[in-house]
Amino acid sequence: MAEGREIHPAKRGMTGKIRVPGDKSVSHRSVMFSAIAKGAVRVKNFLEAADCLSTAACMRALGASVERREDDSLRVTGVGLHGLKEPAAILDAGNSGTTLRLLLGILAAQPFFSALAGDASLSRRPMGRVVEPLVRMGAAIRGRDANRFLPLAVLPREGRLRAMDYESPVASAQVKSAILLAGLYADGETTVEEPALSRDHTERMLGAFGARIRREDATVTIEPVDELFSPEEIIVPGDISSAAYWLVAASLIEGSDILLEDVGVNPTRTGILDVLSAMGADVTLSNERESGGEALADIRVRSASLRGTSFGGAIIPRLIDEIPILAVAALFAAGDTVISGAAELRVKETDRLQAVTTELNRLVPGAVEATQDGMIIHGGRAPSPAVCRTYDDHRMAMSLAVAGLAGEGVTLDAPACVNISYPSFYQTMDRLVQ
């Protein structure tokens, strides 16, 4: 059994400057899109974490060159849109749903056979919502039972995929991205319409690579192209999902004042800032700028008295990964917080709705009620020390760590899962609370 980790209550406010790791979503896409483009690109601030390394390994296996440079940047030399080769072994996505789903969009159009697998957690996550639209475009994908669980086999495709107009039942950047990538290889324009706008990193970055994309509200259309061309450099902004833990920790721990530098503030990702503002958090942005189509800013957060709020609907895709840490904020806030429209959390690395409910109730019994698509959190009651499960889910581990810092401490059963997205999380935490 993995060794547990004790998180002790913060004895004083957290102060200092932080540079959070590179954005996970942008890191994945920077390597994947560079691999299917012509030319070489220097990727700076790439997230050196397990999920993104899975993407890099898969693209190497498909023929691209991905090299670590002495200055800690990556140099990716692509093979072009039609230059991928049949992998010699099964492509292993590890724990990364982004790797798997986006790669399916590319592999669906290839004239060779490929097989994909992942770890135990990823193998429990149904892939039908991505596989089904790709099959409608003409892909031949075989999986384990009707829910298309891993492993998956993608059969060779002769000729172009069929273009289509797809009305997605969910607002999912991964579903949208897989279809758009397949659309690069289609016989006409492919359109995806979502019920609400999901993260748009794919659209922004493909545009930087020369793809022809049109966007209107929650609808995006892509035209097929003969080739993509890499920019000379991609700078990956700091991940707001990683910054979220410090935004909440500094808000909750009295006397805190933290500056988070060079954080990505893409409008499709800043729902957490809106919710924290509604809760009364003291958060301000400065030094706002843009790099490679992505907005960046420095974010200052100071401790404040939080109050409960309600959120759901169109904002959920803008903060889906931040709901566990927002639930922690709600646990300490005065009054009730109601979260709705978040059923997507049930098919993440674990059923996060149930996991958050179970583990926060260990800290404050009866504080959290799970609903079908969200939760109700009764805030403001004093927590107790507890031993909590992480479910080998990085976002659960970091959210519970913040709960321990702001409360009376917590022991995590499997803390190492933070390596999925934030390998230096505990070192940064220790520095801030010393």
Look at residue 147 in the predicted model and tell me its pLDDT.
Answer: 64
Query: b/e string for 374-390 if b means 16 or more Cβ within 10 A?
Result: bbbbbbbeebebbebbb
CA distances to 58, 119, 241, 288, 420 from 190, rounded to whole Å, are: 26, 32, 30, 34, 33
3-state secondary structure of 190: strand
Nearest alpha carbon to residue 56 among 73, 31, 78, 34: 31
**pLDDT confidence band for 146 (50 / 70 / 90):** low
In terms of domains, do 351 and 244 share one? yes
Give the pLDDT of residue 71.
85
State yes or no: is 119 an active-site residue.
Answer: no
The catalytic residue among 321, 392, 413, 430 is 321
Q: Looking at the structure, tell me whether residues 57 and 203 fall in a common domain.
A: yes
Q: Is the pLDDT of residue 55 over 50?
A: yes
Q: What is the domain extent for residue 380?
A: 5-22+237-433
For residue 145, the model assigns a pLDDT of 76
Question: What pLDDT is attached to residue 292?
Answer: 67
pLDDT score for 282: 98
**Number of domains, the chain:** 2
Q: What is the mean pLDDT of the chain?
A: 95
Residues 211 and 341 in one domain: no
The 10s digit of each residue's pLDDT in 73-117 is: 999 999 999 999 999 999 999 999 999 999 999 999 999 999 999
Quick one: 345 and 392 in the same domain? Answer: yes
Identify whether residues 272 and 411 lie together within a single domain: yes
pLDDT above 70 coverage of the chain, percent: 99
Answer with the one of 235, 265, 285 that is the final residue of a domain: 235
Same domain, 394 and 327: yes
pLDDT above 80 (res 348) = no
Last residue in a domain, options 209, 235, 261: 235
Domain check: are 35 and 162 in the same one?
Answer: yes
Domain match, 193 and 311 both: no
Answer whether 281's CB lies under 8 Å from 251's CB. Answer: yes
Q: Are residues 314 and 352 in the same domain?
A: yes
pLDDT digits (tens, 9 = 90+) for 183-207: 999 999 999 999 999 999 999 999 9
Given this model, what pLDDT does residue 70 score?
A: 83
Give yes or no: residues 382 and 424 share one domain.
yes
Confidence tier at 346 by pLDDT (50, 70, 90): confident
Helices H / strands E in the chain, number of each: 13, 23
Assess whether 73 and 106 both reside in one domain.
yes
| Residue pLDDT, tens place only, 83-94 | 999 999 999 999
pTM: 0.84
Residue 1 clears pLDDT 50, i.e. is over it? no
Q: Tell me, yes or no, whether 340 and 206 share the same domain.
A: no
Of 194, 211, 235, which residue is a domain's last?
235
CATH number at residue 259: 3.65.10.10
